[in-house]
Amino acid sequence: MKSRHTLHRWGKLGIAALAVASMIVPVSFASAAETGTTQSSSQQESASAPAQSAQVQSQSAQSQPAQSAPASGQAESSAQTSGGASAATNLSKASAAAVAVNRSYTIRRNDGQHQPDYWYKFSVPRQGVVNVTYSFPNTNNRFSTPVLLDSAGRVIARDAYDNMSKTSLGNQGLAPGTYYVKFGTLYWMTSATANLRINYSQNSTWETEWNNSHSVADALTLGRTTNASAWADAKTGEQDWYRFTISKATKVELKFRTARYGSIDHWTVRLYRSNLAQVKSYQWQFAQTSKSDTLNLGAGTYYLQLTADVYGAIPPLNYNVTVSDLAVTKVPVYRVYNRRSGLHHYTTSAAEKNMLVGKGWRYEGVSFNAARIGSPVYREYNRRTGNHNWTMNAAEHNMLVRLGWKNENTAWTVNPNAGTKVYRLYNRNSGEHVYTTSYGEYVAVQRAGWRGEGIAWKSL
């Protein structure tokens, strides 16, 4: 239920002194994201801010390992509100009081002013994830929920409901720079208390806010997963924009993994060309945790717009996005060896590889990389000798099938323009073919009596 207290009803209040004690706690990440944590010693350092009519005191806390839920900042306050009637000095963005990340603060005011916004600023040294956590010890004497803003004053995260039961603005990916947290207080209150902690951890796999329009869209690296979060819808909250570029016409896969959320609301993604002409749109409910599609796209730059179509989703809903050019998306080809027969086998199936290893075959690693799309490599099986053969040559494939080899269809596909050559060798005694990307091995095995048959195909 939406709070009956809104920002325009808050009064101007004051604040007193700022003291800081050091303690770093790793930021925790949700399941769609990869985690990264930073740690520091628990040695305390203190720093003071200009005297104000309320006191902000840093609190020490115990360091904890990263966990799946957002880390909550807890402050055991011993701060006393200061006396005097001097006005607070951090009532605007320009005069924001500096606070440190990964430290806990208790903010108290008792100055008799009305409708103030208390401003704090902090620095992000490297791209990472920030989670603003907060609590209100006295529910009858409280601040509003905080708002996270960038240096331009644009809202990165807020609680659309101003829900006092919430304790976090959720994980937000930020670029290096200066950011702001703004608190308000209820206009009739002459005192209020809030606990504040800004959890930060370096992480290069997250989006970087503010990316709420195509002009500031985050650049996606093809084949790399980007983690992110979204709160509310495009009108009342945010919309995340991304861009990617493909150099030539190809088949592209769009893949989204989303946090499960108990709601009938939905995710919406729109794909645009560089002129913002819509190519396609996708929509799926919050109960569904993934969405993917493959489509043919011409060369050029494209944009993705993503929204979580629910009002006031706090903490934000985590998701990730991956855009892949299937022609250059690697598919590992595993190699296993039978010690008794001396035969090698190649497969892209992890299940087949594991089954053979379970039967005593020796796993020899990834031999080379096929592609998600491309030219087919055929597989045939000789029932008498137990040999397999792999070839790109359709005529060779058809000839072997006519001679009684079992047709096992397409084993994998390869990119003819890939940069690594895969050589084929033939053992006249056993009838086996082996494949290698090492030219040195190719030459050495020929000296041992095998026949070199040249380049079979190319590997990514």
pLDDT band of residue 242 (cuts 50, 70, 90) is very high
* pLDDT average, residue stretch 168-180: 95
Q: Are residues 339 and 452 in the same domain?
A: yes
Same domain? For 193 and 230 the reply is no
Residue 429 and residue 343 share a domain: yes
Distances (CA, A) of 172 to 157, 210, 238, 336, 358: 8, 10, 12, 44, 44
pLDDT of residue 159: 76
Task: Judge whether 403 lies within some domain.
Answer: yes
Structural domain includes residue 231: yes
Q: Percent of the chain, pLDDT > 70?
A: 73
Q: What is the CATH number of the domain that holds 188?
A: 2.60.120.380
Question: Does residue 221 sit in the same domain as residue 158?
Answer: no
Q: Decide if pLDDT at 50 tops 90.
A: no
Per-residue pLDDT at 30 = 25
DSSP code at position 28: P
Residue 25 CB neighbours (<10 A):
28
Return the structure tokens found at 354: 């594991």
Name which residue leads in pLDDT, 7 or 363: 363
**Angle at CA 354, nearest 5°, toward 379 and 224?**
80
Average pLDDT rounded to a whole number, residues 140-166? 80
Q: Convert the pLDDT of each residue in 331-364 to its tens digit.
A: 999 999 999 999 999 999 999 999 999 999 999 9
Model confidence pLDDT, tens digit, residues 259-298 = 888 777 889 999 999 999 999 999 999 889 999 999 999 9
Residue 357 counted as domain residue: yes
How far, in Å, CA of 17 to CA of 19, rounded? 7
Asked whether the predicted pLDDT for residue 102 surpasses 90, the reply is yes
* Other CB atoms within 10 Å distance of the CB of residue 206: 27
Same domain, 234 and 174: no
Tell me if 414 sits within 8 A of 458, measured CB to CB.
yes
Whether residue 345 sits in one domain with residue 252: no
Residue 126 lies in a domain: yes
Q: Which residues contact 115 (CB under 8 A, 6 or more apart)?
A: 9, 10, 11, 12, 13, 184, 185, 187
335 and 432 within one domain = yes
Residue 32 domain flag: no
Q: Look at residue 286 in the predicted model and tell me its pLDDT.
A: 87
Question: What average pLDDT is seen over the chain?
Answer: 80
Domain end: 324, 359, 385, which one?
324
Q: What is the mean pLDDT of residues 447-455?
A: 96
358, 395: one domain: yes
Q: Which amino acid is at 64?
A: Q
- Mean pLDDT, residues 386-394: 95
Same domain, 101 and 124: yes
Q: How far apart are CA 104 and CA 112, in angstroms?
A: 25
Q: Are residues 455 and 343 in the same domain?
A: yes
What pLDDT does residue 189 have? 57
**pLDDT higher than 70, residue 415:** yes
207 domain residue, yes or no? no
Q: What is the pLDDT of residue 187?
A: 58
With respect to residue 24, please indicate whether it lies within any of the assigned structural domains.
no
pLDDT for 259 equals: 84
- Concatenate the DSSP letters of all residues of 173-236 into one string: EE-SEEEEEEEEB-TT-S-EEEEEEEEEEE-SSB--B---SGGGPEEPPTT-EEEEEE-S-TTT
Give the residue numbers spanning the domain of 193.
83-202
Kindly state whether residues 318 and 340 are assigned to the same domain: no
Q: How many domains does the chain have?
A: 3
- Same domain for 341 and 424: yes
Q: 324, 357, 391 — which closes off a domain?
A: 324
Cα(165)–Cα(312) distance, rounded to whole angstroms? Answer: 13
In angstroms, rounded to a whole number, what is the distance separating the alpha carbons of residues 231 and 170? 9
Does residue 355 lie in a domain region?
Answer: yes
Out of 171, 202, 233, pick the residue that ends a domain: 202
Average pLDDT of span 109-134: 85
Say what the pLDDT of residue 345 is. Answer: 96
